[in-house]
Amino acid sequence: MREHGLDRRAQKDRRETFVAGAKPEPIEEIQHVERNGSLSMTRNSGFCRLRCQAADQAMFGVACSLFLLTATPTWVYAQSYCAGYGCDSSECASAHARNCTCKSCSRGTLFLWSRVPNVRGGPDLCAPLVTDRPDFTEASSTVGLGVAQWEVGYTYTFDDDGATSAKSHSYPEPLLRYGILADWLEMRVGWNYSDEEVGGVAADGSEDLYLGFKIGLTPQDGILPEMALIPQMTVPTGDDAFSADEVLPGLNWIYGWEVNDFVSTAGSTQFNRAIDEGTGDAFTEWAQSWTFGYSLTDKIGAYTEYFGLYPTSADTTVPEHYFNGGFTYLVCDDVQWDIRAGTGLNDAADDYFVGTGLSLRFK
């Protein structure tokens, strides 16, 4: 279940219908030392220091020539590339040698804070991937130009209002994120399939297609947050029981802070057009969330979060409040596994939900 606000509400409404959503590390120093002590070579960020300790000058000359032939073009290219961006050449050379993009060599966001224009942000491909799942609050950064990120998952949801019980299986919850035109812009395409049973009545089918763009607005600078904006919509492509039968546009504003190496925090404020399942009339639904992330180890993370859905001018739809949390495990820099669980905080909300997912980055 992709929780874009509309998805959580639409799934709940369908049940009611049956009854009546840092800078990159420098290049590691490369060393080669022959056991007989004849030659010692070191290189750091394209800079080489050669030290001849033996009398065999011919061997030394050959080794130096081969080394400089391979090291010099990379260093010259990095110097030229970085000069165009006005960034630190040694950091940039390190990033290119690791087949990624350093933050100082890319604007990263559409805007920069005026008081500190040299502070840059946006995607850091030298660091582990940043995902939109498993929490309700989307990431405040984009994936980067030419980078694709594929996020999938499964969610089981249960609700019992005392008269009837409802359960649903949501899968595969795919979200494709792809960086286009610049590091600060990504295209987003999502889809889902639901299998629901309410009071003994079962239904399953495809949900409406989700489309959007994420725009990286600003980097973080102290108390000034990293921010992003997502214009989004669902289009009526789903099966009859799972489609709104019209385009439902919305806008999502995300803001986040890295507090320290252990804690980060973020929130999102969004509004979306929604359909009242009781009357079929359209209304505006606001959604608010706040999350805290915790880096427990280099590979294990955790989060806790509140999110709520607030209908405006709806005939029968009422607010829903949730609390959830989960864990993430970084398999490698480009692969992350997650698990989560949540509970409703009021009668209108689902009783509980549990889920798991996987995210992969291709760069």
DSSP letters, 154-166, are: EEEEEEE-SS-EE
- Contact between residue 292 and residue 323 where contact means Cβ atoms under 8 Å apart: no
H helix runs in 139-243, sequence order = none
Does 105 score more than 90 pLDDT?
Answer: no
User: pLDDT band at 163, cuts 50/70/90?
Assistant: confident
The predicted pLDDT at position 175 comes to 98
pLDDT surpasses 80 at 104: no
Whether residue 44 contacts residue 25, with contact meaning beta carbons closer than 8 Å, is answered with no
Residue 9's pLDDT is what?
64
pLDDT at position 360, please?
98
Is a pLDDT exceeding 80 seen at residue 14?
Answer: no
Mean pLDDT of 25-46: 36
The 10 Å Cβ neighbour count of residue 279 is: 12
In this predicted structure, the answer to whether residue 29 has a pLDDT above a threshold of 90 is no
When pLDDT is cut at 50, 70 and 90, the band that residue 121 belongs to is confident
Are the CB atoms for 158 and 350 separated by under 8 Å? yes
Question: What per-residue confidence (pLDDT) applies to 101?
Answer: 57
Distances in whole angstroms, Cα of residue 175 to Cα of each of 187, 191, 287, 292 = 10, 7, 20, 22
| Rounded mean pLDDT, 227-248 | 96
Stretch among 12-26, 237-251, 269-283 having the lowest mean pLDDT: 12-26
**pLDDT at 236 exceeding the cut of 80:** yes
Look at residue 225 and tell me whether its pLDDT is greater than 60: yes
Task: Tell which residue, 235, 333, 243, 317, has the closest CA to residue 283.
Answer: 317
For residues 54 and 35, the answer to whether their CB atoms sit within 8 Å is no
Is pLDDT at 116 greater than 90 in this prediction?
no
Q: What is the pLDDT of residue 200?
A: 86
pLDDT at 12 over 60: yes
Q: How many helices (H) and strands (E) does the chain have?
A: 3, 18
Percent of the chain residues topping a pLDDT of 90? 65
The reported pLDDT for the residue numbered 162 is: 87
Model pTM?
0.77
Kindly report, residue by residue over 43-88, the tens digit of the pLDDT: 333 333 333 344 344 444 444 444 333 333 333 333 333 444 445 5
According to the model, what pLDDT value does residue 55 have? 37
Mean pLDDT of 28-42: 35
For residue range 173-220, list pLDDT tens digits in order.
999 999 999 999 999 999 999 999 998 899 999 999 999 999 999 999
Q: pLDDT per residue over 294-338, tens digit each?
A: 999 999 999 999 999 999 999 999 999 999 999 999 999 999 999
Please indicate whether residue 51 or residue 133 has the higher confidence score (pLDDT). Answer: 133
